[in-house]
Amino acid sequence: MPAPHPMIELWRGSLLESTHAGHAVICDASGDIVESWGDPGAVIFPRSSCKMIQALPLLESGAAEAHGLTDRQIALACASHQGAAIHTEAVTRWLADLGLSDADLRCGAHEPYDTAERNRLIKADEKPCQCHNNCSGKHAGFLTLNRHLKGDAEYVEVDHPVQRAAKQAHEEVTGETSPGYGIDGCSAPNFATSVHGLARAMARFATATGTGDARDRAMHRLTRAMAHYPEMVAGEGRACTELMRAMEGRVAIKTGAEAVFIAIVPERQMGIALKVTDGGTRGAEGAITALLVKLGVLDANHPAAKKRLDAVQKNWRGRETGILRAAPGFPG
């Protein structure tokens, strides 16, 4: 079994201080490996990087069309959002259109990541609700599918029709039987796969034309919705939003907890998946940036790229302390 490959290094002065290593795969239109680092067969939880897979049944079933979902809502269904007003208001309206409320969500509540919304809650002495959860858009999508399937209220249970549909889609697009699942932070099952399987799935999204069968049309719409509404997928200051904006709608990317990242690159008909084994977001953001630059879809000198790769580190006084850069041999 190949060891994790060094990907991103942090240098302080003339000394290497930290190294982020992991596994990464680039797949072509046929699902074959174009290039890989570390172990392509490493089994991982994709976490939130696979939300577009979890959203496939929402579109394929006809539920999205039946409820008139917009591309902005489709992007939100794939989001790990900041809990900013644009996100919570959109989820609240979506639930209201279904005749549902915050109480029908099963994702749990947490403090929003958005500073303005967090400050508003503190000043108003209000507690966060479930719509603030970064996964509430995905759960609104689950509830829409559940309404279509006429399932019971506990839509996050692994044997519920919503999650059975998600598992079936996951296994079909990864080309692998999942070896198991874990419960994600939002209480939904998260089905394990290999890094190669996840990259294979992203390559399938990348090759969708929008003129084929229901899956092809769903993949095409999900990819374009994410790329065209990057502010709904994450939020201001976040890597997903900033890097998609930098690529001007040409590529869809999505992070997942514990340093997973994917990219869907239609113009190259390629998919990328990576996992940094220490779970560090800094390493995953640097690694996906390096791979996107390698494929020629991201300008290495764009501020969003420079923020995460070849990034000069400064302390609180503004003094330069080091640099975050790609490790030798990555991505080559």
Query: Dihedral sign, CA of 27, 175, 157, 62?
Result: positive
Q: How many CB atoms lie within 10 A of CB 220?
A: 20
Position 1 pLDDT exceeds 90: no
> For residue 36, what pLDDT is reported?
98
Q: What separation, in Å, do the N-terminal and C-terminal C-alpha atoms of the chain show? A: 21
Q: Is pLDDT of 41 > 90?
A: yes
For the chain, the average pLDDT equals 98
| Domain 5-326: CATH class, spelled out | alpha beta
- Dist. CA 28–CA 169, nearest whole Å: 20
| Mean predicted confidence (pLDDT) in 23-42 | 98
CA 154 to chain centre: 24
Amino acid 54: pLDDT: 98
pLDDT in tens, 53-106: 999 999 999 999 999 999 999 999 999 999 999 999 999 999 999 999 999 999
Average pLDDT over residues 13-23: 97
The contacts of residue 224 (CB under 8 Å, 6+ apart) are 71, 210, 249, 252
At residue 274, what are phi and psi to the nearest 5 degrees? -145, 155
Please tell me the pTM assigned to this model.
0.98
Is the predicted pLDDT of residue 270 greater than 90, yes or no?
yes
Sequence-distant (6+) residues with CB within 8 A of 194 are 40, 41, 42, 43, 44, 174, 176
Peptide bond into 331 cis (omega under 30): yes
Q: Residue 258: in which H helix or E strand, if any?
A: none
Between 1 and 203, the more confident residue is 203
Residue bearing the bigger pLDDT, 13 or 182: 182
Model confidence pLDDT, tens digit, residues 213-261: 999 999 999 999 999 999 999 999 999 999 999 999 999 999 999 999 9
> Tens of pLDDT along 133-184?
999 999 999 999 999 999 999 999 999 999 999 999 999 999 999 999 999 9
Which of 46, 119, 110 minimizes the C-alpha distance to 81? 110
- Compute the radius of gyration of the chain from its Cα atoms: 19
